[in-house]
Amino acid sequence: MLILLAPSEGKAAPTPGGAPVDLAQLACPQLEPQRRELIERLRKLAAGPQAKALTALGLSAGQAGELERDRDLFGAAAAPAAQVYTGVLYQHLDLASLPAAARRRADRRVLIASALWGVVAPGDAIPAYRLSIGAKLPGIPGLAAWWRPALEAALPQEGLVVDLRSGAYAAAWRPPGIELVEVGARTAQGKVISHMAKATRGEVARLLLERTQEPRSAEEVAAAVEAAGRRAQLNELPRGRGWALDVIAG
């Protein structure tokens, strides 16, 4: 089983003075050429005209301070990705509070999707940065499409994947040979609850990591959710794209 997490827009800056990112030590080291190229393009963009950089990155004038982070990606202090990402999903996953055995499973079974790194493991040391999958870097019209060939070569082509990414990040890697389970949240009447999706995904990731028996199919993922006291509904996605697992609120 592979658990794929979305990144978060909010990021905590590591304590100054720490060691910077070492691209060779990140998960899937074969992605280093793509990572290095994107860092160079992002640094150049952030160091250029501010208005152009803000537009390309989808930032407001009030977020101009984010550009400073992107100018110093090779020099800034790095920290484990699970500490740098601070969004709702990570608050509900709360990796640091998991038992030691579950944290070890996370090290083996969890990858975090990223517009800048492709994927990283929770323990990979990275700096805080600002780059979403919808950004338009010069010479790269779409980051999902740009990453797709490299991710297809680096990531598994078969097996069970519990997909906790948003749709934009999911577009970067979705091979046909895997059994994909997309997790979302709905009401008992079937209405999508978008504001609960991130929290629900964090909770599902946590309960799967807490289990000593690893699920091997979409049905076993749904059974694990229900064994944890949550209602779940599993539906096959169109055109054989995998499964939708909806956690029912209420």
Give me the pLDDT at residue 33, please: 97
The verdict on residue 61 lying in a domain is: no
Provide the domain limits for residue 130.
2-12+80-134+141-248
Residues 6+ apart with CB under 8 A from 146: 34, 140
Give me the pLDDT at residue 22, please: 98
| Mean pLDDT of each 10-residue bin along the chain, 250 residues long | 95 95 97 97 96 95 94 96 96 96 96 98 97 94 95 94 94 90 89 87 97 94 95 88 89
The verdict on residue 108 lying in a domain is: yes
Dihedral of CA 106/107/109/111: which sign? Answer: positive
The verdict on residue 64 lying in a domain is: no
The verdict on residue 70 lying in a domain is: no
Give me the pLDDT at residue 194, please: 82
Give me the pLDDT at residue 250, please: 67
What total number of domains does the chain contain?
A: 1
The verdict on residue 33 lying in a domain is: no
Give me the pLDDT at residue 82, please: 95
Give me the pLDDT at residue 60, please: 94
Give me the pLDDT at residue 217, please: 96
The verdict on residue 214 lying in a domain is: yes
Report the 10 Å Cβ neighbour count for 148. Answer: 16
The verdict on residue 149 lying in a domain is: yes
Read off the pTM.
0.95
The verdict on residue 105 lying in a domain is: yes
Is the CB of residue 167 less than 8 Å from the CB of residue 57?
A: no
